[in-house]
Amino acid sequence: MGVVNSKPGKQGNINMLMGNVIQFPGTKIDPVQQQVDDFYEKELSKAFIEDFVDKVGHGLVNELHNNGYDVDDEEFIVRYMYSLEVVKSVLYNSKNIDHILTSRIGKQARKYFENEVTEQ
């Protein structure tokens, strides 16, 4: 059983094609919105930051080693690890997550750049 085309032209062709389309109910059902737990979101952010900084840190230390830096020196290791914690602190702060170094780093960074500007 075919669709009878009562209107010639483009409109008739559209009606003919639409005859095979199943029409769904006209009422729109919105998707269920899941409540995102702040704790879960923060834990995901922490995990991402830790993983990201570790990967970047390992890549950088390998490049430093390849370019002749003594990355096995104990003092270098301590300072390098501290610098990675500073990066983590900055990223945590950007996500409004507490980090043990956040308040110290913020104060020191401001003082450092204020002193640098006045010394030039």
Tokens of 62: 């390998």
pLDDT of residue 14: 59
Please give the residue range of the domain that contains residue 99.
29-119
Of 39-43, 71-75, 97-101, 115-119, the one with minimum mean pLDDT is 115-119
At residue 23, the pLDDT reads 65
**Residue 68 placed within a domain:** yes
Output the pLDDT for position 100: 92
| Phi, psi of 54, deg, nearest 5 | -60, -45
d(CA 76, CA 55): 18
Read off the pTM. Answer: 0.63
Task: Tell me whether residue 16 is in a domain.
Answer: no
Q: Is 9 left (phi over 0), alpha (psi -120 to 50) or beta?
A: left
Structural domain contains residue 113: yes
pLDDT at 3 over 70: no
Residues of the chain above pLDDT 90, percent = 50
- Residue 24 in any domain: the answer is no
pLDDT band for 6, please (50, 70, 90 cuts).
Answer: low
Pick the closest to residue 95 from 55, 58, 54, 48 (CA basis): 48
Q: Does residue 23 sit within a domain?
A: no
Banded pLDDT at 88 (limits 50, 70, 90): very high
The domain total for the chain is 1
In the prediction, which pLDDT does 19 show?
A: 61
Angle at 83 between CA 64 and CA 100, to 5 degrees: 160
Residue 6 lies in a domain: no
Distance CA 27, CA 78 (A): 63
